[in-house]
Amino acid sequence: MAGSPVAGFPMGDAAAKYGRSFSIGLRGALEYRLNFAFSIMSAIAPVVIQTALWTRLYAPGSGDTLFGFTFPQMIAYTVVANLVSRLVRTGFEYELNADIKTGGLDRYLVKPIGYFGFRLCVFLGSKSVPTGLNLVLLAGAAWALHAVLGVPVSVMAACAFVASILVAFVLNFLIFWCVGMAGFWLTEIGFLFEAARIVIITASGGIFPLSVFGPRGQALLGMLPFRFTIQFPTELLCGRIPAGRIPTELGLALLWIAALAGLSRVLWNAGIRRFAAVGS
């Protein structure tokens, strides 16, 4: 059994199987290059709208601070948060739902490859090219914000930002994997995905900094995992998190990854039993 071929690779070679899954996502990213271009273009409108809003709220040249941000810091946050939100965006949940509803999940249950690992590797492969280009844009944005607005970006913060993006990828995947599990119990969840995305982006600090919600709201949202997907990486690149706090914050994010991985396993086991019982 271990030597049987699977897509040209031995069954026992897990790295080869999941590497093949990664390549599927990579080929998709290369095939649909316009998707990335339109995604970047779509980030322009929110930045322009939010910049116009903050320009009206801040008195010109006054040095005012709103929600703990000076005007340059708020503009820096707006630009970086919009790029980060597109960097960690998922989308695989629609494919997951389609596999559940059409019964296509059956073929993965009999193959010597885990469906979770398959989807994760395809997701990482699909994000590899856009991630590289997005990181270039973020590096350019960081340089411009430092040169034009005087927002400091240290080498340590930049390195921590890269680590936080890797954490954000996995964390956001697990969040939407758990949301996608609703497909085992609900008939139509397309609208649920979009509603969940809006709520999660808001709770992640992708639209406004969480301080906009006041001390209590910020404290409550700070206890949830969502801020580690957008606000935490954004504040790292904007130099708003002290170096001494970075290891603690990354440790908390890893704990959330472990917790969500456990929850995803529970939901999968319950959902797959229902899938088999209903005969989807």
Report pLDDT digits (tens) over 205-262: 998 899 999 999 999 999 999 999 999 999 988 888 888 899 999 999 999 999 999 9
| Cα(202)–Cα(225) distance, integer angstroms | 12
Tokens of 157: 């913060």
* pLDDT in the model for residue 112: 65
The end-to-end CA distance of the chain, in Å, is 28
Whether the Cβ atoms of residue 77 and residue 209 lie closer than 8 Å to each other? yes
Q: State pTM to two decimals.
A: 0.80
- State the angle between helix axes of 33-42 and 44-57 in degrees (0 to 180), rounded to the nearest 10: 10
Residue 119's pLDDT band (boundaries 50, 70, 90)?
A: confident
Six-digit token string for 90: 């998922």
Rounded CA separation 246/163 (Å): 10
Q: CA 69 to CA 176: how far, in whole Å?
A: 30
pLDDT digits (tens, 9 = 90+) for 204-215: 999 889 999 999
pLDDT at residue number 138: 77
DSSP 226: G
